[in-house]
Chain A
């Protein structure tokens, strides 16, 4: 019977340690990360977007991406979704007769699809070899193909479906928007914002973009106001236009603790393809579990110690048993 008692003892020793570590409020719980003060991003205002796709074309050029075809004649770049070769896309919402822009019923609307540059990105947390990393100053989520092993955990992790792998190549990379970080040194900024004719995509510091977004939401529908274009705080390229009937929601202000790209829309965000996300980032929970179990390798070494102690004793017992009997 002693072996049974050992069994039960051992089961509780190892099993409850793990259960307690995971289930109870852990000491090293990690909060969702906040945006860096210098975080750069975009403000996309769907009500200003005319669907010209100049941003899609500019993005292709700025990132040296090949065209992707979805039509038989293969004359124009016509991707249906972002991919390893398409980092930015304008998608269209259509309903019924599609008569009125920015209307949910019998209307249509546009939505930009590109990296949100999360304050607490799942892809960065997921990457085993630090190939996805957040710039400490600008907060831009960048990708380094020289580090990447191609496990595609970032692809699976992202709730926006942004990092994507190039399946068509034996040496495929992950492709995603990096906010044109390679153009900053020439005094340029995100190509999509640079070329946007209506200011629907606006580049700037996220904290300032958020103030601009809130300003727009406070306007009465139809009220005339100035809309900046290009880069917020850059040369004045603004124009006057009436404000739309916005939903009172800055998408990206709270989602996953905040993203550096913010969005305004008149049509329900889920209907235009933006997921309904909680305020706590999944990365925070994942890393809390990871560090509760493996922080400083304390738990693994403690369990290893118990196991080694038991194994040493029992391997000896085993040895002695061999002399007598084996039942």
Chain B
């Protein structure tokens, strides 16, 4: 078990184990007060101020939500796209523990941390958006359940997954606080949480796509398909790897660490595998449903479709060859494009391609945007604090 091994490493003194120890996660240390953390703090304070207004005066006071667009960026960006961005932990854990690719092990903890933040914040973001948030507990009370509702499935699954992820990540805290006995006990059951940690995101990431189905004719045919769950699942996995590429590059630049290219290069190939599967399903579906003509109309929807498709297709050219996959700049760019493509698939389906008729418009209000920015800042700040104080990133010979 990964955590078991790490425990052993910490109590081992045999020099022959040095090479293993060098990759074990360790806190980075360093100051928590930097320009980045200060800016994050200010943005979070602004977000809290906006949220105070929202909770005292209602959603209309701070958002541009209206009768035609009941869902804005707090749902589509913070929750639907945010949780897909948080699929790194799921994608990497699946690679390591389900497909038995142990070599990617050092990527698990940092990816899981980002996922933990992404999902916990998506969960919190839901509360900000709920019009009758004090009733949220109804989701967990069987007398209220509606198992026909896709939203019900999403809500229950995401809530469970957040709990599962905290348990999956808890060894990092247990190590830091020296609770090795608890960690040992947890390790024996950890595989169950690892399994749950792959099944639950598979369930709700696909269901996030199914959410569109009941909206029926209101969704532009370019994004309205019964294959929605498969498209959302494949892109969530792809985005998971893309986010790991992105984060690894940012963390190595930000913390002046060496980029783990030896892991990222082969992982990018796995990512391309999922990407090709997605593109085949996506294009095949459009052709079979006869929806392709909608992509050749002079409309915003068609333009957005092509931007989205370009974001998915470009990485094939950028990092299609093994040599190009060794290039950090190309890996970073490909990761960014796939994150953007996946984000656009969701934004286009839920907002751009959503038409309720008679002239309703939606563009987020400034306070609404500030909350989304604030949520992002919480994520960045949390990542910095935890990687500096808890054993998450692989130890580097040059750093400590």
Query: Which of B5, B98, B135 has its CB near the most chain A CB atoms (within 10 A)?
Result: B98
Q: Are B67 and A289 in contact (CB under 8 A)?
A: no
Name the B residues within 8 Å of A273 (CB-CB). Answer: 357-358
Within 8 A of B (CB), among A304-327: 304, 307-308, 310-319, 321-322, 325-327
Interface flag for A248 (CB, 8 Å): no
Cβ-closest chain B residue relative to A302: B199
Query: Which of B5, B131, B273 has its CB near the most chain A CB atoms (within 10 A)?
Result: B131
Chain B facing A: main interface SS: helix
Question: CB < 8 Å: which of B8, B97, B149, B216 contacts A128?
Answer: B149
Question: CB < 8 Å: which of A122, A149, A316 contacts B139?
Answer: A149
Q: Are A126 and B130 in contact (CB under 8 A)?
A: no
Residues of B within 8 A of A (CB): 1-2, 4-5, 8-9, 19-20, 23, 55-60, 63, 65-68, 70-71, 96-103, 105, 126, 129-133, 135-136, 138-139, 144-153, 155, 190-192, 194-196, 198-199, 202-203, 206-207, 210-211, 213-218, 226-230, 233, 270, 273, 277, 281, 354, 356-358
In angstroms, how far is the closest chain A Cβ from the Cβ of B154?
A: 8
Q: Are A169 and B226 in contact (CB under 8 A)?
A: no
Q: Chain A 125-141, CB within 8 Å of chain B: the 1/0 string?
A: 11111100000000000
Q: Are B67 and A23 in contact (CB under 8 A)?
A: no
Name the A residues within 8 Å of B68 (CB-CB). Answer: 161
Name the B residues within 8 Å of A294 (CB-CB). Answer: 147, 153, 203
Interface flag for A7 (CB, 8 Å): yes
Q: Are B191 and A315 in contact (CB under 8 A)?
A: yes
Q: Are B99 and A6 in contact (CB under 8 A)?
A: yes
Q: Are B96 and A310 in contact (CB under 8 A)?
A: no
- Considering the chains assembled together, what is the distance between the CA atoms of A276 and B151 in angstroms? 26
Given the known interface contacts A7-B99, A126-B214, A289-B210, the answer about A149 and B135 at a Cβ–Cβ threshold of 8 Å is yes
- Considering the chains assembled together, what is the distance between the CA atoms of A113 and B356 in angstroms? 14
CB contacts between A and B, total, < 8 Å: 261
Given the known interface contacts A149-B132, A285-B213, the answer about A10 and B98 at a Cβ–Cβ threshold of 8 Å is yes
Q: Are B96 and A318 in contact (CB under 8 A)?
A: yes
Q: Are A167 and B66 in contact (CB under 8 A)?
A: yes
Q: Are B144 and A129 in contact (CB under 8 A)?
A: yes
- Considering the chains assembled together, what is the distance between the CA atoms of A322 and B6 in angstroms? 9
Q: How large is the interface on A (under 10, 10 to 19, 20 to 34, 35 or more residues)?
A: 35 or more
Q: Are A150 and B132 in contact (CB under 8 A)?
A: yes
Within 8 A of B (CB), among A76-131: 81-84, 122, 125-130
Name the B residues within 8 Å of A291 (CB-CB). Answer: 148
Given the known interface contacts A129-B144, A314-B100, A321-B102, the answer about A304 and B196 at a Cβ–Cβ threshold of 8 Å is yes
Name the B residues within 8 Å of A282 (CB-CB). Answer: 213-217
Interface flag for A234 (CB, 8 Å): no
Name the A residues within 8 Å of B4 (CB-CB). Answer: 319, 322
Q: 28 A-B Cβ contacts within 8 A?
A: A10-B99, A11-B99, A19-B230, A82-B67, A150-B131, A153-B211, A157-B214, A167-B60, A172-B131, A273-B358, A276-B217, A282-B214, A287-B148, A289-B229, A290-B148, A290-B149, A300-B199, A307-B98, A307-B199, A311-B191, A311-B198, A315-B1, A317-B100, A318-B5, A318-B96, A321-B5, A326-B103, A326-B105
Interface flag for A18 (CB, 8 Å): yes
Interface flag for A67 (CB, 8 Å): no
Cβ-closest chain B residue relative to A299: B203
Name the B residues within 8 Å of A36 (CB-CB). Answer: none
Q: Are A161 and B357 in contact (CB under 8 A)?
A: yes
Q: Are B148 and A125 in contact (CB under 8 A)?
A: yes
11 new A-B contacts, CB < 8 A, other than A282-B213, A282-B215, are: A18-B233, A125-B148, A127-B146, A129-B135, A145-B132, A147-B135, A156-B70, A294-B153, A294-B203, A304-B196, A319-B1
Interface flag for A65 (CB, 8 Å): no
Cβ-closest chain B residue relative to A91: B358
Q: Are B133 and A128 in contact (CB under 8 A)?
A: no
Q: Are A122 and B1 in contact (CB under 8 A)?
A: no
Q: Chain A 147-176, CB within 8 Å of chain B: the 1/0 string?
A: 111111101110101001111111111100
- Considering the chains assembled together, what is the distance between the CA atoms of A4 and B222 in angstroms? 35
Q: Are A289 and B203 in contact (CB under 8 A)?
A: no
Cβ-closest chain B residue relative to A148: B132
Within 8 A of B (CB), among A9-63: 10-11, 14-15, 18-19, 22-23
Question: CB < 8 Å: which of A276, A278, A310 contacts B100?
Answer: A310
Interface flag for A74 (CB, 8 Å): no
